[in-house]
Amino acid sequence: MLSNPRRVVRPGAVRFVGFETLTPSSFSPDHDPTGTHIQALFHSLREAIATIGLELPAEVYGISCPADDANPPQLIRYFAGIPAPETDVAEFEDITVTPGAYFAITYEGTIGEFDLAINEIYGPVFSASGYEFREGLHLEIYPANWDPQDPNARMDVLIPIC
């Protein structure tokens, strides 16, 4: 289920630490509809956070961008991360999300239905919003305790807009 479409502005640059992978996008016939690859990336992130003694923040982020020239992209770079802590953490890769406006929408449901929702969000829902895409990183914001099998789990999808 999709709800609460809105425009949000992220006012300042934010550095994130975590892990990155290359994976087929939700638009690719080669994608993983169960989200196993991405879930494993978040699991590795949580384990690494615990191992070095950091506290898991209230939210974790999926940050992505196209990794090919196809439209829609068939391959994406996907980064699972948290806002960078004050202390240096060499165990992680990092990425910076620059300021800007986003079309945001809340998804409620299981990971098994997320690909259908993504296709709807980037298709008819975004088209009806009246916004235009801009280059930038795409964000998914999950509560730290997000359960991919819970049909009531909620997370936000943010698409960069002009």
Q: Which domains does the chain have, with CATH numbers?
A: 2-161 (3.20.80.10)
Both tokens of 39, joined, read 């879930």
Q: Residue 87: is its pLDDT beyond 90?
A: no
Mean pLDDT, residues 7-34: 93
Average pLDDT, the chain: 94
Q: Residue 5: is its pLDDT beyond 90?
A: yes
Q: Residue 139: is its pLDDT beyond 90?
A: yes
Q: Which of 26, 28, 24 is nearest to 107 (CA)?
A: 26
Q: Residue 99: is its pLDDT beyond 90?
A: yes
Question: Token match 């982020």: residue?
Answer: 61
Q: Which of 73, 94, 74, 91 is nearest to 20 (CA)?
A: 94
**Model's pTM, two decimal places?**
0.93
What is d(CA 2, CA 147) in angstroms, rounded to the nearest whole number? 17
Burial class for 17, CB neighbours closer than 10 Å (0-12, 13-18, 19+): buried
Q: What is the CA radius of gyration of the chain?
A: 15
Q: Residue 93: is its pLDDT beyond 90?
A: yes
Q: Residue 98: is its pLDDT beyond 90?
A: yes
Question: Going by DSSP bridges, is the β-strand pair 154-161/138-143 parallel, antiparallel, or unpaired?
Answer: antiparallel
Mean pLDDT, residues 11-35: 92
Residues 42-52: tens digit of each pLDDT: 999 999 999 99
What is d(CA 28, CA 8) in angstroms, rounded to the nearest whole number? 28
What is d(CA 43, CA 159) in angstroms, rounded to the nearest whole number? 24
